[in-house]
Amino acid sequence: MSEHHVVDITIIGAGPVGLAAAYYAGHRDASVRIVESLGQLGGQVAAVYPEKHVYDVAGHPKIQGQALVDLCVEQGLQFGAETFLDQEVKDLQRVGQNGEQLLVLTTHEGESFPTRALIVTAGHGAFEPRKLEIEDIDAWEGCGLHYFVRRKEVFRDKTCVIVGGGDSALDWTLGLQDTARLPITLVHRRERFRALETSVKEARELEQKGDVRICAPAEVRDVRGDGLIQAVTLEDMTTGDRFEVDCEALITLLGFHSHLGSIADWGLDLHGKRQILVDPSTMETSLPSVYSAGDVAGYEGKITLISVGFGEAAIAANQAIAKIRGEKVQPKYSTD
């Protein structure tokens, strides 16, 4: 076990909200460390939708996901926050050291991180994609089956079948129009899509032009190929008819299974099954000096959006600092 030095604030998770918390804490001259389980910064935005445009972050009328998190990294790390990647936080203990009460985090990788306060910005926790219920579906991973669209170029001139009825499925049916071979086939097991109405309307318009083929309600029943995927069999859920569709890239965007992992066993009060309960006026959890913000923090009326998480990060960081220093909470503006 290698033990690191004590810092004022440790942040679990380097998504946009963790990076915002690092900015606010660094701006108040606190020593900051970020521990992240993935091998990259940027959370869900970098991992799941780096090339999708984001329209609802204040000050950015339209910005690509990766460009947004690159700016978050530049802003968040400017005061010298240390980052530790590929480190999944497992345990939390409270210890007394040199007259101070410290929190000590340990990771699956065997590192130990003592800290005066903790901000948990772990998003959905460790997440993995939901998969099609087809025997041996995993065997097609790396052979044409995709759970994410990380780089559009991977799909250049490919015959794509996208499966799903939510925003990701619709976003990429529209977003790959300039890259994939047309039409893109969109398969959803229900007739009605869950995605934003304007995206569904746009996809229906593209269907009229022949650039999208919508199969709904339909389900993928089989995947065929010789080493690489060549076709999928679909079942029309209304008639029961089965038919084959050419397919070089099968993109299943069915959401994620996610769990808080060992964080759920720390004795924190939870909000539902997936979120840590916080007092929204302080973002403090049921454990003293442990704060939370972003998607993982829950309270009545919570909306899981980046801009909401940014505000929560400011509250959590300022509250944590006030507590460490025994001061009243007051904002310090970021002017020179």
Ligand X SMILES: Cc1cc2nc3c(=O)[nH]c(=O)nc-3n(C[C@H](O)[C@H](O)[C@H](O)COP(=O)(O)OP(=O)(O)OC[C@H]3O[C@@H](n4cnc5c(N)ncnc54)[C@H](O)[C@@H]3O)c2cc1C
Instruction: Characterize 179-193 residue by residue with b for buried, 16 or more Cβ atoms within 10 angstroms of its Cβ, and e for exposed.
Output: bbebbbbbbbbeeeb
CB 318 within 8 A of CB 334: no
β-pairing, 100-107 vs 111-120, is antiparallel
Q: How many helices (H) and strands (E) does the chain have?
A: 6, 23
Q: Which is nearer to ligand X, 13 or 298 (CB)?
A: 13
Alpha-carbon distances of 213 from 61, 130, 160, 207, 209, rounded to whole Å: 31, 23, 11, 6, 10
Shortest distance, position 305 Cβ to ligand X, whole Å: 4
Report the alpha-carbon distance of residue 95 to residue 72 in Å, rounded. 33
Q: Which is nearer to ligand X, 182 or 254 (CB)?
A: 254
Q: Which is nearer to ligand X, 12 or 278 (CB)?
A: 12
Shortest distance, position 244 Cβ to ligand X, whole Å: 29
Q: Which is nearer to ligand X, 26 or 309 (CB)?
A: 309
Q: Which is nearer to ligand X, 16 or 144 (CB)?
A: 16
Alpha-carbon distances of 224 from 101, 130, 161, 234, rounded to whole Å: 59, 20, 13, 11
Could you write out the DSSP letters of every residue in 57-111? BTTBSSEEHHHHHHHHHHHHTTT--EEE-S--EEEEEEEEETTEEEEEEEETTSE
Shortest distance, position 246 Cβ to ligand X, whole Å: 26
Using CB under 6 A, list all residues that contact ligand X. 12-18, 35-38, 43-45, 48-49, 54, 56, 88-89, 121-126, 167-168, 261, 263, 294-295, 304-307, 309
φ/ψ of 49, rounded to 5, equals -140, 55
Shortest distance, position 208 Cβ to ligand X, whole Å: 26
Q: Which is nearer to ligand X, 206 or 283 (CB)?
A: 283
Shortest distance, position 122 Cβ to ligand X, whole Å: 4
Shortest distance, position 227 Cβ to ligand X, whole Å: 30
